[in-house]
Amino acid sequence: MPALPPNNTAVWRISYSNVYGQHQFDVRDADPAQGDTLGLVADFLTALGDRVIASTVTGVTLQEAGAQVSMPQQTTLDGMTFGANNGTPEDDASFVSFTGRSIGGRRTRITIFGFANDQYGNNFRFTPGEDGAPAAALAVLQNAAGGFIAIDGQPVVWNNYVNAGVNAYWQRRKRRG
């Protein structure tokens, strides 16, 4: 499958921070003028509940399809808080990741840092029946008609599980202090 340019679709970049660090994730959108996808992002973040360190959306940028730069946007997500867990510095390196493929076969992923995975030990994959918060967030993605597309502009079929883990980059940064 040939590679597609990164600007093949419009991309919202959502930046957020918690007491331990700053992170961001991207969401592809077929029609950013409608604004529907940002409402779905808010529902997705809210669904994560107290399994994520309390975080605040610090900025949103939009890169239109075909554009080479992204521009800051004022949106309803600005200043939104999500998560309720006080967490630990170690939790900031922990993540929860939602993966899937477009109907055209292109892989996609949304990863959120600050996931408190202390309840399950070495279980790094959850199915919907195992953990309510990731299951609720996964349901938002799976039921999002028109939002959360892949790089090829096609709808995503989300995997019926959620991955969790510790990111080596953030783990090393925490060790250095």
Model-level pTM greater than 0.95? no
Choose among 87, 89, 94: nearest CA to 113.
Answer: 94
Query: Residue 70 pLDDT more than 70?
Result: yes
Residue with the larger pLDDT of the pair 122 and 65: 65
Query: Residue 117 pLDDT more than 80?
Result: no
Among the listed ranges 49-53, 77-81, 104-108, 126-130, which one has the minimum average pLDDT value? 126-130
Distance CA(46)–CA(148), nearest Å, equals 16
When pLDDT is cut at 50, 70 and 90, the band that residue 65 belongs to is very high
Contact 39, 31 (CB under 8 A): no
Write out the two tokens for 175. Answer: 């060790």
Non-local CB neighbours of 84 within 8 Å, separated by 6+ positions: 49, 50, 52, 54
| Residue 177, pLDDT score | 66
| Residue 21, pLDDT score | 85
Q: What is the mean pLDDT of the chain?
A: 89
| Residue 97, pLDDT score | 94
